[in-house]
Chain A
C-alpha cells in the first residue's frame, strides 16, 4: 500500500496539468546563453563553405579587376593573415585582395575570401584603420554571417551547403547558382542583418586590440567615411546600418570594455609606404 505522500506528489503535477490554461510557450525558452556558441563544424561543412565561397568570389571577380600593385596586395594580405590569428577561425585559409572600384566598401565571402575596394583604401590614413576594416570582414567570415543569411535550406532545392557545393546533380548546380546570386545580392545590395554588422564591428575592435592596433582608428575611419560625400558613399550606406548607429555601438563597446584611449599602434608611415 503506497503512502498518502506518494499520491499527493503524483497528484500535484496532474492537477497542474489539468487546471492550468494551456498557453503555448516559447519553444526556445530552454535555450541558454551558451547556445550562442554553435557546434563545431565538421570537416565536410568547412570544405563546403570554402567551395561555395570560391564560387561566389569567382562570380564577383568576373565584374571587377584587382588593383595591379603586387606590393600593395602583398601588404594587405600579410596584414590580413596576421589579424586572422585572432579570429578563432583557424580551419580555413583567408585570401585578401584589393579590387579596383571607386566605391567605399569591403566584402567578406564565405570560406575566407575578402575583398577591399581601392576607394575604401584611398580613404584610409594609417595601418590601424586598414586593420579595423579587415578585422570587420574577418569577423563576418568567422561568425558565418553570410552563410546564415543565405539560409541555404530556404532555397527551392532545400539543399544543404554541402550538397550545393558538391554539384552532385543538375538540381544542386542550379541551386548553387541561386545561392551565389543571393550571396552577391546580400553583399552588394541588401546587406547583412544589422545585428551582424554590429557584431562584426564589436569583434573587429577586439581583434585590433589583440593585434596591437589602436581601436579608436576604426571609429575614426567610419566617421571619415560618413563625412565623405559622393556616389561612393551610397553603396556602403545601403549595405550597412547608419554610421551614427555603428559609431554609437562602437563607443558603447569601448566604454564597456575599457578600450578608450588605448595608446596602441597606428603605423601611418608604414601604411603610406605601401599606399602612396
Chain B
C-alpha cells in the first residue's frame, strides 16, 4: 500500500472535527438581535439573548416579558489542499437546520428572571464519497456521519441596582452529545494481494456539567454602557466510547485475514477493539468585556472582546485566545432596523509544526453578519446572513503531511421575538 493510500485510510480512522470542535472558543453566534450584531452584545444584552452574553443586561429589558427564538440554516465547507495523493483537494461539508436559541424573560418582584436554551456549538456532517483508480485501490467508498451538539440550558436572574448598574447570573446546564460513524470499503487492484478491506468506526461522546456566568453592566455616562462577564464550564461527568471493526480479505482464503502489518505495529493486527474513556475535559475560563454606545434611538454601536484561557485537553494544549466582535444597529424607521457586524474566531490550537504528526488543525476564522428586522406592535421578525471564512493548516492523515486548509460557511437565519 502506498503512502498516499495509507494516508487516505488514516483520514477516516480519526473522527475529524467540523465545528462542534474544541479548537475554537467562538462557534455558534446565538440570539436574535445579537446575531445580526455579530455577538457584540455584552454592553447591550437587554433581551433574552442577554442571558447568554451578559446576564446583567436583562435587568434593563424594556418589556414585561419577552420570548425569542432563532432558526438557522447553516452550510460549511472545509477544503484541504492537495490532501489526496498530493494532488487532489479533499472537501468536507456540513449542513444543518438548527433552532439555536430560545429565551423568555419575566419580571419577578424587583428582579428580572429568565430561562434560555442555546445551542452554542453544533455540527451535522454527512459524507458519501467515492474514489476510483486511486493509488493501488480500484474503488474506495467512504460514508460517514458526524453529529455533535452542545447545549446550554438554564435559568438566569438579574437585578437592577440603579439606573446605572446591574448584576446578573446565569446557571446553565451544559450538555454535549456527539456521535461519529464512519464506514469505509476498499476494493484493491487485481495485482494487489488483497481483495477487500472494510473498516467501521463508531465514536460516542457525552458531557454533562454546569456553566455559571456572572455579569455586570454599568453606564459610566449617558448613552454609554459597559459589560463584563466571567464564565466557565465545569464538567461533572463525561464519557467517550470508541469501537473499531475491520476486515481484510483476499481471493484465496475464506474469512478475514490478519490485518496488514506494514508498520510493524502489533496493534494493527487487531480485528476489532472497543475503548472507553471517562476523562472530564477542562473548559477554559472565558472573560467577555463589551462597550456599547447609544448616540440616539436610531443608532447603536457595540464592541466585545472575548478572552479564553489556555487549558490542557487530554494531553493536547489549548492556547489562550482573544477574539473580538463589532456590531452596528441602525433604525431606518420605527418599523425597520438593519444590523451588521464582524467577528473573529481564532484557533485555540497551536500552529502546526513541520515534521510532526498527529497535530490538530489550526484555522483562524473571520465572520461577517447582517440582518434586517421588521417590527410590529409587540413583535419583530428578522432575516439575516452570516458569512465566515478561515484559512490555516491541518493534518488530516496520520502522516506528517500538512495541508493548507480553507474554511467557508454561510448561515441564513430567521428569528422572531414577542413582547407581551
Contacts and interface: CB of A to CB of B under 8 A. Distances in A.
Contacts of A6: 285, 287, 307, 309, 320
Nearest to A35: B62
B62 A31 contact: yes
Interface in B371-404: 373, 375-380
Contacts of B62: 30-31, 35
B213 to A, nearest CB: 15
Contacts of A36: 334
B320 A3 contact: yes
Interface in A26-44: 26-27, 29-40, 42
A29 B222 contact: yes
Contacts of B379: 40
A273 interface: no
B377 A30 contact: no
Contacts of B230: 10
A13 B230 CA distance: 12
B307 A34 contact: no
Contacts of A33: 297-298, 331, 333-334, 337
Q: What is the predominant secondary structure among interface residues of chain A facing chain B? A: loop
A39 B226 CA distance: 28
B63 A39 contact: yes
Contact of B226 (A16, A31, A35): A16
A: interface residue count bin: 20 to 34
Contacts of B60: 30
A10 B287 contact: yes
Contacts, number: 106
A12 B289 contact: yes
A32 B378 contact: no
Interface string B42-70: 00101000000000000010111000000
A261 interface: no
A10 B329 CA distance: 26
B287 A25 contact: no
Interface in B283-330: 285, 287, 289, 294, 297-298, 300, 305, 307, 309-310, 320, 322, 329
A32 B331 contact: yes
B134 interface: no
B375 A25 contact: no
A9 interface: yes
A191 B331 CA distance: 32
Contact of A5 (B220, B322, B373, B377): B322
Contact of B228 (A13, A29, A42): A13
B378 A39 contact: yes
Contact of A25 (B219, B298, B307, B333): B219
Contacts of A5: 307, 320, 322
A81 B81 CA distance: 69
Contact of B220 (A17, A35, A38, A40): A17
B223 interface: yes
A9 B289 contact: yes
Contact of B419 (A24, A26, A39): A39
Contacts of A34: 331, 334-335, 337, 373, 375, 380
Interface in B210-269: 218-228, 230
A169 interface: no
Contact of A9 (B219, B287, B300, B375): B287
Contact of A40 (B309, B375, B377): B377
Contacts of A20: 220-221
B420 interface: yes
B191 interface: no
Given A34-B337, A39-B63, A42-B420, 12 more contacts: A6-B287, A24-B164, A25-B219, A25-B222, A26-B222, A29-B222, A31-B62, A33-B334, A34-B373, A34-B380, A37-B376, A39-B64
Interface of B: 44, 46, 60, 62-64, 163-164, 218-228, 230, 285, 287, 289, 294, 297-298, 300, 305, 307, 309-310, 320, 322, 329, 331, 333-335, 337, 373, 375-380, 419-420
Q: What are the nearest 4 A-B pairs in CB distance?
A: A25-B222, A33-B331, A40-B378, A27-B163
